[in-house]
Amino acid sequence: MYSLFPTILIITLTVVNLLILIFVLKKKTLNVMLSSSIVLFDLGVLGWQLSLISINFIADSLLLHKFAFVAALAAVSGALGLGLTFPDKEVKRKTQALFGLAVVFNSVLSFIILFTNIMVSGYDAVNQQVYFGALGKHLVISLATQIIGMIAIFVYRYRRESHERYYFKYLFIAFGFYGLVATIINLVLPLLGITELALLGSLLAVLPQIAIVYTVVSERLHSLTYLVRMILFVIAVSVLLWLVFNFVAVVIGALTLGKVIEIKYVLLSGAFFTVVTYVFILSQNTISKVIYDVATFSGESAKQIVRETSKKMTTKLTVDGLLDLYSESIDTLFGPDYIVIHFINSKNSEVYEKNNNKNADRLDLQRVLDLVKEATPGSVFLSRERFISGNLELKEMFDNLDVQLVNIIGHGEEVTGLALFGSKRDSSPYTVQDIDMVETLGLNISVALERALLYTEVVAFNRKLQAEIATATKDLQTRNKRLVVLRELDQIILNTLEVRDMAQKIVDLVSWEVGLVGAAMVFLEDEADGQYLRLGAFSDTPVYNEAVKSLGRPLHEFRSKWGSDPSNLFYKALTERKPYATENFRDLYVPPLTIDQSNKLQNATRSRYLVVYPLSAKGTPLGGIAFDLHRPYSEMGTEELELIESFMDEAGIAILNAQLYTQLRDRNEDLRLANLKLKQLDQMKDELVSVASHELRTPMTAIKSYIWMALNKQAKNLTPNLHKYLERAYVSSDRMISLVNDMLSASRLEGGRIELTLEGHDIVPIVTETVEQLIPKSDEKGLKLSFKVPQGDFPPALIDESRFREILFNVIGNAVKYTDKGSIKVSLSTNPNGSPQGQIGDNDSKEYIWVSVADTGRGVAEEDLPRLFKKFSKLEQGSFAKTAEVGGTGLGLYITKGLVELHGGKIWVESEGEGKGSSFIFSLRVA
């Protein structure tokens, strides 16, 4: 008789496996192909075992044996799919195609087995012998080949990568051993007529079922506690329904008690009520949810903790606060032995750690984080995950610390931290539901940490900005104070001219704007007998005013010889050009004060801290300023010292400018007095010249007349020598009269006593007449004097006729006088400008007449041109080289220039150089 015990055990395990698989599929923790493979394998095993049971109760069991072979093919197909896909969540197309091909092939074989007799042709119930058809051996070979292929796949997957071995360790052993033994016992030996070991083959079917259950549960694809409780719950409900149904059936007489206790009826009705109960529970989400929460003890309390924690995370804005909240929630949910958190701020590499495990202090958490980054699993994983088993270093670290669960903290693809958990409080393993909750908390804290870091960065930036604003504000205040002080100094410079007044305002500014107690200024003055240090000014405050009054006389009367006391700090500061600090007035003011005076002065001012700065500008020492401070000089800040230095620079410029102004004012006064005296002397000279000219011209004219009468009336009575002497006397008297006239004209010009009567005149006749008058003199020297009369109408000139004639005689006469040979040409022209440089002043004349006198004399050198037209100016080369021979006063051109300018014109000379002649040109306004 076929034993029912192993078959019932296998059926029970298969049903359990299917129940587990259904709940796993509801959690979607396996891929579709893997789930289908397990279902196919379990259904095949279940069908095979049910067929074996049914054979014992049904006489015609050929169909059941055929069904057993079909179930075996289904189980083999499922095992192939399991070997190809477990535990991957994504399956390649080649794998899918291979699995599909195996299913199709076995489906064809199943059809042939069920509906033909060419593979399984009969069964001998007496001898328990299966008879194969023509292709029976092919069926056995096909099954054996697929089983061997399945074993090969498991071997290949087991050896391919080290991290796959953990998953395939039990599956490889179970399926490999069972596949080999079952092939021999249930396929090969029956062909040889040996069926006694068939029971062992059925019994060994337990191995793959146990391996699948253990692997699925051990890898936390679902909670083992939940599954056990769920199965017990379903069984309890099924038993209750079975008892109620059968009790009612017996009471109403539908069934007899004997029928109810038959094994066949018990199995069939029990299976029916179990399936009905299970399907009903799964179809009702509400009931399923309640049962799930009760079975796993993960109802609203755990979810509420996760929700409340996630909500609180939105209000935490510090990294430490968030990590504490996360740690507290994990402890509330699971109560792990320890929690180790390692988090890094990726922006500034700041490390945050939470650690309640002393052993973790020896663990290089940064190294762990780096290894986890390289492995890149999910956000939450168990310490026995497949990628960990392949990383020996990481596995060793986790084994030493007994890490059970790892939660990766990060935002997006960036991993910034991790949390390590020990064993749960109840020593139960972490389930899929636990992992889901940790993953939710991990994602929320990752986002919250990112927000907290951003907030921290904003707060830090805000603090930095506030600090920078405060620093900038303080700097601006300091700069503003400095600018105010410098502006006040500028105002003092602009509004104060006296040195002592400026010194007083500067030291007053120290107490008003600089913010010090007061100040005193000392001058370094140059005097006839050397240099002196003189007290200049003290701050105008009540305390200082009373102190200065105690001296008994004005400050500026106190002075000391420069260098008389080398220890004096004013002297040292000036000579060494650096500040000196002291607490005693006597170091500063002795001399010129006495020690007693300086002590009284310090007691009156109650000064404690002093510093003296040298006062200078542009390298010139001017004195010094002593500042009365609120605290020791060594304790003063950089800003205060910079303010004092800027103050000293500006004060030095102010004092130097005041001294320069005083010197300039004194010199201007001296020059004004000297100029006034010169004007008086010049006026006296003009008066003398005028008087002398008048007084000399009358007797000289008389002398000239008498000599002329002697030469012309008494010539026959004169000896040759006397005649010669009288001629010389006549020429000399004539020259003297000309000199007197020129001096008188020059004096009148300078005194502004020459008045012109300007009228419009045709100057062509005047020029013609003047040239004709001078031709005899030019002929005497062999010179050709000519005037080029302009053609057509020539405009009249605005002139004083007598003065114009004088100008012509001077210019043309000079040309005749200073030209030795050649010619002299006089010409007239019109020009819109009064000179080569353009219009003359504000002259409203639209046109000018240019009068040109060109000679062929020796010319004028370029460097001598500026000397012409000056008073008493005579050149010693060029056309005027023989001035001494021909005579002349040096006033002719000077007077001519003055007369031309009185006419509103200009006179100038043009010459290409020595030996190339000269051209004198003057302009007159057109009438």
Reported as a single tens digit per residue, the pLDDT across 535-584 is 989 988 888 888 888 888 888 889 899 988 999 999 999 999 999 999 99
Instruction: Note the pLDDT tens digit of each residue in 575-620.
Output: 999 999 999 998 988 888 889 888 888 988 888 899 999 999 888 8
Q: Is the pTM of this model over 0.75?
A: no
User: What class has domain 300-460?
Assistant: alpha beta
Reduced to 3 states (helix: H, G, I; strand: E, B; else coil), residue 908 is: strand
pLDDT > 90: what percent of the chain? 15
Number of neighbouring beta carbons within 10 Å of residue 581 = 16
Q: To 5 degrees, how large is the angle CA 34–CA 35–CA 39?
A: 120
The residue that leads in pLDDT, 844 or 56, is 56
What is the model's pLDDT at position 315? 86
Lowest pLDDT segment from 200-209, 743-752, 871-880: 871-880
Four-residue CA torsion sign, 249, 255, 256, 259 = negative
Q: Is the dihedral of CA 411, 414, 419, 424 positive or negative?
A: positive
For the beta sheet containing 918-925, the strands, ordered from the edge strand earlier in sequence to the opposite edge, are 784-788, 823-831, 848-855, 918-925, 907-910
pLDDT bracket for residue 488 (50, 70, 90): confident
Q: What is the pLDDT of residue 3?
A: 54
* Same fold across 5-222 and 300-460: no
Residue-by-residue DSSP string for 322-374: HHHHHHHHHHHHH--S-EEEEEE-TTT--EEEEE--GGGGGS-HHHHHHHHHH
Token output for 518:
């007061």
- pLDDT bin (cut points 50, 70, 90) of residue 725 is confident
Which of 789, 859, 834, 828 lies closest to 924 in space, CA to CA?
Answer: 834
Residue 887 scores a pLDDT above 60: no
For 114-127, the DSSP string reads: HH-SSSEEEEETTT
Of residues 856 and 279, which shows the higher confidence score?
Answer: 856
Homologous superfamily assigned to 755-925? Histidine kinase-like ATPase, C-terminal domain (3.30.565.10)
Q: Verify cis geometry, omega within 30 degrees of 0, for the bond prior to 836.
A: no
88-135 tens-digit pLDDT: 555 677 877 887 888 888 888 888 888 888 888 887 766 667 777 888
**Residue 741, helix vs strand vs coil:** helix
Domains in the chain: boundaries = 5-222, 223-297, 300-460, 496-636, 755-925
851-883 residue pLDDT tens: 999 999 888 888 888 888 887 666 554 443 444
| Listed residue (924, 911, 895, 919) closest to 826, CA to CA | 919
- For domain 5-222, the CATH architecture is Up-down Bundle (1.20)
DSSP classification of residue 563: T
What CATH class is the domain 496-636?
alpha beta
Q: What is the CA radius of gyration of the chain?
A: 67
Tell me the mean pLDDT in the region 29-45.
Answer: 70
Q: What pLDDT, on a 0 to 100 scale, did the predictor assign at position 412?
A: 59
